[in-house]
Amino acid sequence: MTDTFTVLVVCRANVCRSPVAERLLARWSGQVGLDGIVRAESAGWDAEPGAARCAQGEAWLPGPLPGAAVELAGEHLDRADLVLALDREARAACVRLSTACRPRLLTVTQAGFLADRLGRMIETGEPIAGAPPVPEAPADRLRWLVAEMDAARELLAGRPEDADDIVDRHGVEPHAEVFDEVDLPLAPLTRAWAALMA
């Protein structure tokens, strides 16, 4: 295991949703003291390599989005500790490239939902049934949480399927709404990270 925990965010083109999520993850992980431990990356399963990132996303953040569009490859998925897909289409594309990523693959909204439940248990000291002891090293603690999120997938039963999709919509106002939707589930995820570090 390495000292770095890599989160890969995947959407279709890697110009709007996933780079915004990448930047937000870098921001939130820094705010909970995980600078240098969490490394956020993004890629697109149908990306045009080198394509410019979304100007509206840069204005919403504010600030430049990292780099240019990157096409998703199996090696991205294989080295990621957590893979966050922006929708079910991106999730399926990830599995087509690497079936081995399944235990580490969730949509962003699924991850937020599960992290919220598990994070509350961690904060209150409630035991998580069947969970092994929490490791000492910070990056290993985050990997532990990913394994527990995978084990808790039954909690997702009964959710509407479209709850797993953050759909890219173009236009000034709708685009801002999309970025808000991307941000919303990242808050409970990073809160759970903070609880694990406490």
C-alpha distance from residue 38 to each of 6, 135, 146, 169 (Å): 6, 16, 13, 29
Asked if CATH classification 2.60.40.420 holds for the domain at 5-197, the reply, yes or no, is: no
pLDDT at 102: 98
pLDDT at 109: 98
Q: CB-side exposure of 105: number of CA atoms within 13 Å?
A: 24
**16, 91 contact by CB (below 8 A):** no
For residue 6 the two structure tokens come to: 């890599």
pLDDT at 59: 87
Q: What angle do CA 120, 137, 191 make, to 5 degrees?
A: 25
Those residues whose C-beta lies under 8 Å from the C-beta of residue 181, and which sit 6 or more positions away, are 166
Largest CA distance in the chain: 47
pLDDT digits (tens), the chain, 198 positions: 569 999 999 999 999 999 999 999 999 999 999 999 999 999 999 999 999 998 888 888 887 887 899 999 999 999 999 999 999 999 999 999 999 999 999 999 999 999 999 999 999 999 999 999 999 999 999 999 999 999 999 999 999 988 999 998 877 677 889 999 999 999 999 999 999 998
State if pTM tops 0.75. yes
CA distance 27 to 30: 5
pLDDT at 111: 98
Q: Where in the chain are the domains? A: 5-197
The single-letter code of the amino acid at 41 is: E
pLDDT at 29: 93
